[in-house]
Structure 1
Amino acid sequence: MIASNWENFLKNLGEWRGSFTKISPDGEILDSTPSILNLEAFDNHQAVLFRLRRFDSSDYDTPPTQDYQQEYRSIGRHNIFFSTGAFAKGTLQLAPFTEFGAEYGFVDNDRRSRLVQLYDKQGNFISLTLIREFRSSTDAYERPQLTVEQLIGNWEGKAYTSYSDMSSSEVCSTSLEIQEIGNGYLEQKLSLPSQVITSTAKISGNKLIFEKEREIRQILLLPDGTSSNVPLQLQLRKPFFVEAGWLVRENERQRLIRTYNEKGEWVSSTHVIEYKTN
């Protein structure tokens, strides 16, 4: 039996201590705010109390500078939760002169990693927020910053896709081959059941820069094994996708993808779980 969106949401329950870190479009760490997030079920798991506190310093005993609470009894259709508790949500429709954003969350035992990507009203990629969370009273630890070397190799996995029109979700096998091809470039070959997509990126510090048909796409390699994969400029009447990744372990990586069609409509969310084979 397939778990419901609500049941998958409940896999995020607990008290999570962490931080909200602002990051520039170039991957520069700007500032961090300590936080405590509580997700507590009540009413026989039919409701969840969300409480987020932010602090001036890492001394959680001081009064919070922000204390926000909200009660949930349902999940909006724009927010898809997957079997691990991972989720992806964001803007439903790209429209002229409106801001655009996406948020992703990964869950692994006593760790959560979340990422928020934001665009301005002109469609320019302007900021990231990385949220690193650790279940209270555990010895969960942070992963090192993601490196190109960790990505190179062959990755085999499965992609779980849910659709905005509520049609049946799908599962397909994926194969991703990443290799250095010299002169500061790498090649990425993604094999799906219906197609093979090959792309080339320039390695520039903590950035991988893909250029194709005047579109520039950037993967930022971030702290805690995370990554952000976005077009630097959103274009109307052109399909696109935005993505976040998390290297959960040296040989396991998860990715969350939101796909939009040429009308700017959100079409699907996909959770990829892939393992390094060599």
Structure 2
Amino acid sequence: MSSQWERLLKNRGVWLGSFTQFSPRGEFIKDTPTEIKLEGLNEDKTIRLTVTRLGQDSPPHINEFTYLNRSIFLFEEGHFSKGNLQFSPFSTFGAEFGFCKEDRRLRMVQLFDKNSIFEQATLIREFRENTSKQEKPPLSLNQLIGEWQGEAITLYPDWREPEKYATKLILEEKGNQVKQTITTPHLEFTSTAQVENNALTFSETGQQIRCLLLPDGASLTVPLKITHRQPFFLECGWLVESNQRLRIIRRYDETGAWQNVTLVTEFKQS
């Protein structure tokens, strides 16, 4: 099994892309072209990250580090999740998710304001330098409808043994609603969402949960408002093939403490 450091180095390279901001309703706000360079120095004992916003006068942002803190956890393939270890009311809160597959990366930042209300998402679509910039179509509801079977792996902040288990997700369309059934060894849960354009809103849990279908096969799922003393999760998904989807889920408990992060690799059943 590779180390967290080795997994981050799987993201090395020069990545050309853009930071695209969306509102909580899934509306486009603005797009900023970017160049990200991640390189290993001193025989890979140091990692340097250079972020350049193209077409702007501001200088590149350079960050060098020799260790990783507990705010970021990476999976074997180089996929990762990064964010606050503790949610607390009256302060800004957020998380970043990242997928790395061959010459493509897809990342997303989800931000909440000081009132714990979902403020905006930034979708980051990246292509390795000197490769084809062919991105995937915007995610559609029709692509998701059906049965998905997969495997989940959960990483814990106390470094206990990762947990692996089977998953099943069924999505059924009924008029302007979608019924979702999730089955794992730990739970079986059914919920229904109202569909409006590219936004699905679930409201059975007492929390309003918003799922946005975004460009490049991306999706996000967040509470519209984080309720104090109520557990919650943040999720980012990426449809990497018509029948394969990756999802990363970051869970917090009722005290606001980060519990774990899960990678689901699932396949659509024909």
TM-score (norm 2): 0.97
- Once residues 223 and 137 of structure 2 are traced to their aligned partners in structure 1, the CA distance between those partners, rounded to angstroms, is 25
User: Pick from 75, 78, 99: which aligns with 1:82?
Assistant: 75
Matches within 5 A, 1:180-191: 180=173, 182-191=174-183
Count of paired positions:
270
Tell me by how many angstroms 1:110 deviates.
0.4
- Once residues 213 and 52 of structure 1 are traced to their aligned partners in structure 2, the CA distance between those partners, rounded to angstroms, is 39
**What does residue 50 of structure 2 align with?**
51
User: Could you list the per-position Cα deviations for residues 144-177 of structure 1 after superposition, in whole angstroms to 9, with x for gaps in the alignment?
Assistant: 1100000011111111111112222111111111
Tell me by how many angstroms 1:75 deviates.
1.1
Matches within 5 A, 1:188-203: 188-203=180-195
Identity of aligned residues (%): 42
Matches within 5 A, 1:161-180: 161-180=154-173
* Residues 53 and 64 in structure 1, CA contact (< 8 A), matched pair in contact too: no
| Residue identity matched to 1:208 | L
Q: Secondary structure at the match of 1:3?
A: coil
Measured at CA, do residues 64 and 34 of structure 1 come closer, stay the same or move farther in structure 2, by a change above 3 Å?
A: farther
User: Pick from 96, 104, 109: which aligns with 2:97?
Assistant: 104
Does residue 213 of structure 2 align to residue 214 of structure 1? Answer: no
Matches within 5 A, 1:1-278: 2-56=1-55, 65-180=58-173, 182-278=174-270
Tell me by how many angstroms 1:65 deviates.
2.9
RMSD: 1.1
- Once residues 177 and 213 of structure 1 are traced to their aligned partners in structure 2, the CA distance between those partners, rounded to angstroms, is 18
Q: Secondary structure at the match of 2:203?
A: strand
User: Could you list the per-position Cα deviations for residues 64-111 of structure 1 after superposition, in whole angstroms to 9, with x for gaps in the alignment?
Assistant: 533011112111112000011110011111112111101000111100
Tell me by how many angstroms 1:183 deviates.
2.6
- Once residues 24 and 141 of structure 1 are traced to their aligned partners in structure 2, the CA distance between those partners, rounded to angstroms, is 25
**What does residue 59 of structure 1 align with?**
none
- Once residues 243 and 133 of structure 2 are traced to their aligned partners in structure 1, the CA distance between those partners, rounded to angstroms, is 18
Unaligned runs of 5+ residues in structure 2 are none
Tell me by how many angstroms 1:3 deviates.
1.2
| Residue identity matched to 1:4 | S
* Residues 99 and 121 in structure 1, CA contact (< 8 A), matched pair in contact too: yes
* Residues 52 and 69 in structure 1, CA contact (< 8 A), matched pair in contact too: yes
- Once residues 259 and 75 of structure 2 are traced to their aligned partners in structure 1, the CA distance between those partners, rounded to angstroms, is 16
Measured at CA, do residues 189 and 273 of structure 1 come closer, stay the same or move farther in structure 2, by a change above 3 Å?
A: same
- Once residues 223 and 66 of structure 1 are traced to their aligned partners in structure 2, the CA distance between those partners, rounded to angstroms, is 28
**What does residue 60 of structure 1 align with?**
none
| Residue identity matched to 2:189 | I
Q: Secondary structure at the match of 1:7?
A: helix
- Once residues 57 and 214 of structure 2 are traced to their aligned partners in structure 1, the CA distance between those partners, rounded to angstroms, is 27
Tell me by how many angstroms 1:140 deviates.
4.0
Tell me by how many angstroms 1:25 deviates.
1.0
